[in-house]
Amino acid sequence: MPRKKELDEIKEMIGEEVVVDTATPLLYIGRLTKVGDYFLVLEDVDVHDSNESSSTKECYTMDARKYGVKKNRRRVMVVRSIIASVSLLSDVIEY
User: What integer is the mean pLDDT of 57-62?
Assistant: 93
CA-based nearest residue to 7, from 91, 83, 90, 92:
83
Q: What angle do CA 73, 75, 42 make, to 5 degrees?
A: 110
User: Domain 4-91 falls in which CATH fold?
Assistant: SH3 type barrels. (2.30.30)
pLDDT at 2: 53
- Whether residue 36 contacts residue 71, with contact meaning beta carbons closer than 8 Å, is answered with no
Mean pLDDT on 52-56: 87
**Any idea where the domains of the chain sit in the sequence?**
4-91
- The pTM score is 0.90
Alpha carbon of residue 62 to chain centroid: 13
